[in-house]
């Protein structure tokens, strides 16, 4: 009927500290990503496909982190870690769908940069508003039907042992470890979905950036090369953070899984990466920095 999320109960002396730390991180994520959403909507200079994707990405980060962190904060505060079977399934479903959406949006952002740098004359024609909207909608919807069936299959397994879930949210590896019977087919499906949703987008992004880098190196102007690298570097850093931790978590052999490593990696891509993203985009992107300064000055003056 329910699971018990062990979370960080193995360090009882740090419960108050962890609650305060995760609360501050969550507020930073909400504030940072909300600011990016606002400035991409109100600043005329940011009404381009690149920043349409960035605004959607920031909104996605808020949704993504809100699937796990509020529940984690509640568990740390009240020391009651019970989660119903249905709530666990719903949490896993939204976590997987939003994670897949993040992979696809990062891929769409890489394609946008590829067209802008490698085919600048065709950029307005290819990346028109209609196509951008179609890409964004596709990124949000493509993972929905796949993960409905996948989550249903996982929670249709028999769970006949103990109900202690050694994690801070309902992720695939810890839930499968509690299932009875043969889980081989599910585990193979995890690899297949991870290949389709994580590995292939990652390879497409790397391929895009290899072509982008080769094109940038051919630019005659040092200023042009620096501006192009500056535009792409922030996105590439976010890709490395998110995909790196995701690939290690879901594609490494089952024999190498350990509770401590899984929790650390999960914290990295569910909490730390969404916190770093606004900082990376604001510090590495001059257009975003300038728009943010103008917005804050306007708000202070008002």
Distance CA 156, CA 102 (A): 27
Q: How many CA atoms lie within 13 A of 282 on its CB side?
A: 17
Under 8 Å between Cβ of 268 and 243 = no
pLDDT at 258: 62
Tally the domains of the chain.
Answer: 1
pLDDT at 297: 79
Distance CA 94, CA 256 (A): 26
- Two tokens, residue 173: 């590896």
Burial class from Cβ neighbours inside 10 Å (0-12, 13-18, 19+) for residue 300 reads: exposed
Burial class from Cβ neighbours inside 10 Å (0-12, 13-18, 19+) for residue 125 reads: exposed
pLDDT at 115: 92
- Two tokens, residue 143: 């993972």
Q: If we measure between CA atoms, which residue out of 56, 34, 22 comes closest to residue 266?
A: 22
Task: Output the tens digit of pLDDT for each of the chain's 302 residues.
Answer: 789 998 887 777 888 898 999 999 999 999 989 988 998 888 888 888 888 998 999 999 999 999 999 999 998 888 778 899 999 999 999 999 999 999 999 999 999 989 988 898 999 999 998 999 999 999 999 989 888 988 999 998 888 878 898 888 998 888 988 988 788 888 888 888 888 888 889 899 999 988 988 888 887 777 767 766 776 777 788 888 888 777 776 666 665 556 666 777 778 778 888 888 777 776 667 778 788 788 777 777 66
Distance CA 56, CA 80 (A): 34
pLDDT at 181: 78
CATH number at residue 30: 1.20.1070.10
- Which residue has tokens 């493509």? 142
Domain assignment of residue 26, given as a range:
2-301
Bridge partners, 82 (sequence order): 4
Under 8 Å between Cβ of 168 and 8 = yes
DSSP H/E element including 141:
helix 129-141
Eight-state DSSP code of residue 253: -
pLDDT at 256: 56
Number of H helices, E strands in the chain: 14, 3
């Amino acid at each position: 009927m329910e699971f018990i999320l062990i979370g960080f109960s193995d360090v009882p002396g740090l419960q108050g500290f962890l609650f305060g730390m995760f609360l501050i991180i969550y507020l930073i994520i909400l504030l940072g990503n909300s600011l990016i959403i606002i400035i991409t909507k109100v600043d005329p200079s940011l009404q381009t496909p690149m920043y349409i994707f960035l605004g959607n990405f920031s909104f996605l980060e808020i949704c993504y982190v809100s699937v796990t962190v509020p529940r984690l904060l509640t568990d740390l505060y009240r020391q009651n870690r019970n989660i119903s079977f249905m709530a666990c399934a719903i949490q896993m479903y939204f976590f997987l769908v939003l994670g897949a959406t993040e992979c696809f949006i990062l891929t769409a952002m890489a394609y946008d940069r590829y067209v802008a740098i490698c085919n600048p004359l065709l950029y307005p024609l290819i990346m028109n508003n209609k196509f951008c909207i179609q890409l964004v909608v596709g990124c949000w919807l493509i993972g929905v039907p796949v993960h409905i069936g996948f989550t249903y299959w996982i929670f249709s397994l028999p769970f006949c042992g103990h109900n202690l879930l050694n994690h801070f949210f309902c992720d695939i590896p810890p839930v499968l470890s509690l299932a009875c019977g043969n889980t081989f087919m599910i585990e193979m499906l995890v690899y297949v979905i991870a290949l389709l949703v994580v590995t292939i987008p990652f390879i497409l992004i790397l391929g895009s950036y290899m072509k982008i880098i080769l094109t940038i190196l051919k630019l005659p102007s040092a200023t042009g090369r620096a501006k192009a690298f500056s535009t792409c570097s922030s996105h590439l850093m976010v890709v490395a953070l998110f995909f790196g931790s995701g690939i290690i978590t879901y594609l490494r052999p089952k024999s190498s899984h350990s509770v401590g490593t899984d929790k650390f990696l999960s914290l990295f891509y569910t909490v730390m990466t969404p916190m770093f993203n606004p900082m990376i985009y604001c510090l590495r992107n001059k257009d975003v920095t300038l728009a943010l300064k103008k917005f804050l000055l306007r708000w202070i003056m008002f």
